[in-house]
Amino acid sequence: MRQVEVPTVDDVRAARERIRGLVRETPLVESDELGAHLKLETFQPTGSFKVRGAAAALTAPGSGGRVVAASAGNHGLGVAWAAQRLGLEATIVVAETASPAKIEALRRFSATLVLHGADYDEAEAHALSLAGEGARYVSPYNDRDVIAGAGTIALELLEQLGHELTVVVPVGGGGLASGIGLAATPAGARVVGVVAEASPAMRTALAAGESVPVPVRETLADGLAGNIEPGSVTIPLCSRLLDDIVAVSEDELAGAMRVLVCEHGLVAEGSGAAAVAALRAGRVEVEGSAVAIVSGRNVTLDSLMSVLSY
């Protein structure tokens, strides 16, 4: 079991200073359809919020040398992009079943791409073994700097909207939810996590008090799919910082993707639309202004067309 230092809100503030000018401060738009605001992390250079955590990790004090990451796609893109910008060597491990759109996007960077395993869990295990050969392993969620980088979204939201917020956040391994919770809850905001019914790893872990392996079914929210590393710091962080955690179905994810395209002209992958799905389904108790984190846009054209033609 890896020992990972637990981040604080001061780590989030420090991360923001390090990545300022490297990643984008993303726009916030109002949705009449939802009665909520949309925080558009789809406008990041890699199409996902993951670039924040990657940039924070690769610019942290003492960083340098070779890095290894396992990813369902978006974290790998973030690490590959940040490594190329900073002149670092990176190896990205993805499952052989990962999204073709994300694999193709990864090939555009100078990072070494390794396809390994039938699912994310196998890819992660292989990445950890590679990192044991002298590189730093940058987890997509169980990493102090990655969590702090994700939390910079909340600092922006507090400046853009004020403090009376209910922030709705997609949850896979819990890095995004942990980071946003660290920065938003001291200001009195509510934070609600959203998992896919097909892969409810964090919801199950919070109920059990520890990481519990769950069956992972096929889901539009491939970025949220997979189990959680045993001992991950995100489990106690989410337990402490989330006001609630809810699940959405595949039909609800597809409906949210359609609404984002048809009502707002926005492309989002299934995981990126999870917060919108939860709001549309009425599963979120809202206090103040509701904000849905639209976390990523990297979806294959075939998948998007299938959703839109449903």
- 45 vs 214: CA distance, rounded Å: 33
Domain layout of the chain by residue ranges: 9-50+143-308, 52-137
Q: Quote the CA–CA distance of 188 and 204 in Å, as a whole number.
A: 26
Question: In the predicted model, what is the mean pLDDT of residues 237-262?
Answer: 98
Does 295 participate in catalysis according to the annotation? yes
Q: How many residues does the chain have?
A: 310
Token digits for 224?
Answer: 């949220």
What whole-number distance in Å separates Cα of residue 6 and Cα of residue 234? Answer: 9
Catalytic residue among 48, 71, 139, 295: 295
Q: State whether residue 87 is helix, strand or coil.
A: coil
Q: Do domains 9-50+143-308 and 52-137 have the same CATH topology?
A: yes
User: Candidates 2.40.128.50, 3.40.50.300, 3.40.50.1100, 3.30.420.10; correct CATH number of 9-50+143-308?
Assistant: 3.40.50.1100
pLDDT value of residue 101:
77
pLDDT exceeds cutoff 90 at 55: yes
132, amino acid identity:
G
In which band, very low, low, confident or very high, does the pLDDT at 47 lie, cut at 50, 70 and 90? very high
Neighbour tally for 276: CB within 10 Å: 31
User: For the structural domain made of 52-137, what CATH number should be given?
Assistant: 3.40.50.1100
Least confident range of 118-127, 246-255, 274-283: 118-127
Q: pLDDT at position 289, please?
A: 96
Residue ranges with strand state E in the chain = 28-31, 36-40, 66-71, 89-94, 112-115, 136-137, 165-170, 190-196, 244-248, 289-294
Pairing, β 36-40 against β 28-31: antiparallel
Judge contact between 177 and 242, C-beta under 8 A: yes
Catalytic annotation, pick one of 48, 50, 199, 289? 50
Q: Is 309 a catalytic residue?
A: no
Q: Per the structure block, which two tokens stand in for 272?
A: 């990126």
Mean pLDDT is lowest, of 98-102, 112-116, 234-238, 299-303, for 98-102
